[in-house]
Structure 1
Amino acid sequence: MKIFPAIDIKDKKCVRLVKGDFDKKIEYEMSPVEQAAKYKDHGFKNLHIVDLDGALTGETINLDIIQEIVKKFDLNIEIGGGIRNLESIQKYTDVGVEKVILGSAAIKDKNFLKQACEKFPNRIALGLDAKDGYLSISGWKENSNQLTLDYLNDVNDYGVSRLIYTDINRDGMKQSPNFEGTVKVADKSNCPVIISGGVSSILDIKKAKEINNKNIEGIIVGKAIYDGDIILDELVKEVNA
């Protein structure tokens, strides 16, 4: 079970949103590079980064920060947030990012997802952000009117190398992830799945590890770390257990 500590970047700072709401933003004192250093020092190998500026603008706003983190710490990084064209994917792969996460653009245009998977084999992750079974897009502001499992069925053979499933109702709420929903996605998916949204304590990590599904690759942990509900030393033990 891979554990992905999360860094959400907005205005060059580490932040966390509640259910993706930019009006409910909490800023933290540590810079993204300092936070990445902390994760590296504790022995983590994987990192989940969301460029919230990118999500709002569709540009690779914080590419310099991502590049600095890759160069300094040699972490396996997955990056998402407003990636809407092949050029942006190229920029991130050029600086050494392991996986580029496509979300809204891939849901709105399946052909874009297909092209990306063909041009960047084994580098494309698909972010499926769901609310009440339906996929949300555009920073979670719009309902796509597409059922998550129906969409997955349509794109399952495109060559996506990782799937990140987030239950929006749980994100930033620290009410435990939607394990049941994630298992349903993992059962259907042709690629490994990451659990995302709602991790509240080390017990959620233990529960994730107990799920009897070989297709679940890992779990993302964000707000619970920043708020001190999960101690990094404890989390690292679960990586190595």
Structure 2
Amino acid sequence: MILYPAIDLKDGQCVRLLRGRMDEATVFGDDPAAQARAFAAAGCEWLHLVDLNGAFAGRPVNAGAVEAILAAVDVPVQLGGGIRDMATAEAWLDKGLARIILGTAAVEDPGFVRAAAGRFPGRVAVGLDARDGRVATRGWAEQTDLAAVDLARRFEDAGVAALIYTDIDRDGAMGGPNVAATEDLARAVSIPVIASGGVARMDDLTALRDTGVIAGAISGRALYDGAIDLRAALDLLRA
């Protein structure tokens, strides 16, 4: 199972939100590239970035910070937030991103997601952000009645590289991930599933890994707070 250290970008800074609320942001640093270098130096295999402003605006907002990170590290980087058309997707991939994450577009424009996955094989993931199993869009500000598993199944034959499942109510709350819901999703589809939201301690990573079906886990606040030591976590998962 791959551990993805998270760098969430708001106004050019590294932040973590509580349950997706922009007015409850904790700033962890004003140099995202330096944070990326620190994660890479610890041995991470991937980095997970989110343009939080972009998710609300529907277009890239923290492009400068993302580009600085891409210039600072050699590890593959995935990015979500504000990518809702082919031109934006292509521009980001041309800049060196290994993978883009499409969330709102998966609900509002599934044809675009399918087209992007076909055009950029292995480089498009779908973000499934859910409250009580129902998908939320536009920076988690708009709730739908669509079940996350139903949305996931729509892309089974699209060539999507991964599904990133976030339990919004657990995100940034340090209360543990929704292992059961993530495992259920991973067993319901053939697309690799990455868990996001609530990873707070080493035991959480072990629980996700031991399902045997979850491909990755994203952690942010726990790494910044020191609740999880990145080097130790990577050693654990590699063992």
Q: TM-score range, shorter-chain basis?
A: over 0.9
| Residue 235 (structure 1) aligns with | 233
Report the 3-state secondary structure (helix = DSSP H, G, I; strand = E; otherwise coil) of the residue aligned with 2:29: coil
Report the 3-state secondary structure (helix = DSSP H, G, I; strand = E; otherwise coil) of the residue aligned with 2:228: coil
Given that 1:20 and 1:171 are in contact with CA atoms closer than 8 Å, whether structure 2 keeps it comes out as: yes
| Residue 173 (structure 1) aligns with | 173
Distance (whole Å) between structure 1 residues aligned to residue 84 and residue 103 of structure 2? 9
Amino acid at match of 1:138: R
Amino acid at match of 1:63: A
Given that 2:40 and 2:73 are in contact with CA atoms closer than 8 Å, whether structure 1 keeps it comes out as: yes
List per-residue Cα deviations over 1:172-208 (Å, max 9, x = no partner).
1111111110111111222111011001111111112
List per-residue Cα deviations over 1:100-125 (Å, max 9, x = no partner).
00001221121121111122221100
State the identity as a percent. 38
Distance (whole Å) between structure 2 residues aligned to residue 205 and residue 6 of structure 1? 15
Gaps of 5+ in 2: none
Distance (whole Å) between structure 2 residues aligned to residue 232 and residue 167 of structure 1? 22
Given that 1:8 and 1:51 are in contact with CA atoms closer than 8 Å, whether structure 2 keeps it comes out as: yes
Report the 3-state secondary structure (helix = DSSP H, G, I; strand = E; otherwise coil) of the residue aligned with 2:170: coil
Aligned CA-pair RMSD: 1.3
Seen in structure 2, the aligned counterparts of structure 1 residues 29 and 151 have a Cα distance that, compared at 3 Å, is closer
Distance (whole Å) between structure 2 residues aligned to residue 29 and residue 212 of structure 1? 35
Distance (whole Å) between structure 2 residues aligned to residue 212 and residue 10 of structure 1? 34
Distance (whole Å) between structure 2 residues aligned to residue 45 and residue 70 of structure 1? 14
Shift in Å at residue 128 of structure 1?
A: 0.2
Report the 3-state secondary structure (helix = DSSP H, G, I; strand = E; otherwise coil) of the residue aligned with 1:238: helix
Amino acid at match of 1:238: L
Distance (whole Å) between structure 2 residues aligned to residue 8 and residue 167 of structure 1? 16
1:101 aligns with 2:94: no
| Residue 60 (structure 2) aligns with | 60
Shift in Å at residue 4 of structure 1?
A: 0.2
| Residue 21 (structure 2) aligns with | 21
Given that 1:16 and 1:26 are in contact with CA atoms closer than 8 Å, whether structure 2 keeps it comes out as: yes
Report the 3-state secondary structure (helix = DSSP H, G, I; strand = E; otherwise coil) of the residue aligned with 2:139: coil
Amino acid at match of 1:180: A
Query: Bigger shift: 4-13 or 202-211?
Result: 202-211
Distance (whole Å) between structure 2 residues aligned to residue 127 and residue 145 of structure 1? 16
List per-residue Cα deviations over 1:138-188 (Å, max 9, x = no partner).
111111111112222222211111110011111111111111101111112
Distance (whole Å) between structure 2 residues aligned to residue 41 and residue 234 of structure 1? 13
1:128 aligns with 2:128: yes
Report the 3-state secondary structure (helix = DSSP H, G, I; strand = E; otherwise coil) of the residue aligned with 1:4: strand
Amino acid at match of 2:217: I
| Residue 223 (structure 1) aligns with | 221
Given that 1:102 and 1:113 are in contact with CA atoms closer than 8 Å, whether structure 2 keeps it comes out as: yes
| Residue 47 (structure 2) aligns with | 47
Query: Bigger shift: 126-135 or 181-190?
Result: 181-190
Amino acid at match of 1:220: I
Amino acid at match of 1:159: G
Runs ≥4 in structure 1, deviation > 3 angstroms?
none
Report the 3-state secondary structure (helix = DSSP H, G, I; strand = E; otherwise coil) of the residue aligned with 1:28: strand
1:164 aligns with 2:161: no
Given that 2:36 and 2:72 are in contact with CA atoms closer than 8 Å, whether structure 1 keeps it comes out as: no
Given that 1:57 and 1:82 are in contact with CA atoms closer than 8 Å, whether structure 2 keeps it comes out as: yes
Query: Bigger shift: 137-146 or 63-72?
Result: 63-72
TM-score (norm 2): 0.95
Q: How many pairs align?
A: 239
Shift in Å at residue 30 of structure 1?
A: 4.7
List per-residue Cα deviations over 1:2-52 (Å, max 9, x = no partner).
010000011111000001000111111351101101011111121000011
List per-residue Cα deviations over 1:80-137 (Å, max 9, x = no partner).
0111111111111101111100001221121121111122221100000111111111
| Residue 182 (structure 1) aligns with | 182
Shift in Å at residue 228 of structure 1?
A: 1.7
Distance (whole Å) between structure 2 residues aligned to residue 31 and residue 107 of structure 1? 33
Given that 1:157 and 1:190 are in contact with CA atoms closer than 8 Å, whether structure 2 keeps it comes out as: no
